[in-house]
Amino acid sequence: MSAKEKQAVAAFFSYNQEGFTGSRVKNPDSYSLDIERMNGTDLHTLDLQAGDRLRIQLETLKGSLSMEIKASDGTTIYQGNGKEATDFTVNITEDGVYTIVVCARHAKGGMIRINVI
């Protein structure tokens, strides 16, 4: 393999590596990602009660960023990419541990903020 081909392979693998640059805050009643660069998946859980509401702010600047919120039984209660709805609330109807799954592919810029209100 030539030196040029080796550089191309190395660049391909670094471009597709999982990684995160930015700030991440995980609290019992909130979750926040301010993304400079992200490639991969991040998870956070919230222990919620029926009647809680989640205020969600989701913004994607470049690349692909998606978020899913799953109830403890595996049911998806929200799924989106921050392109249509960017500031909204989700009502919690059952007590349980909810999992937030954020998937990014070559994301540059963007943010996710979730607060229990």
Question: Using CA atoms, how far apart are residues 111 and 35, in angstroms rounded to an integer?
Answer: 6
The pLDDT value given to residue 8: 42
Q: Which pTM does this prediction carry?
A: 0.82
- Domain-wise residue ranges, the chain: 19-116
- Decide which of 1.10.10.10, 3.40.50.10210, 2.60.120.380, 1.10.3720.10 is the CATH code for 19-116: 2.60.120.380
β-pair partners for 103: 41, 66
pLDDT digits 0-9 by tens, 67-101: 999 999 999 999 998 777 789 999 999 999 999 99
Q: Which of 21, 77, 20, 22 is nearest to 48 (CA)?
A: 77
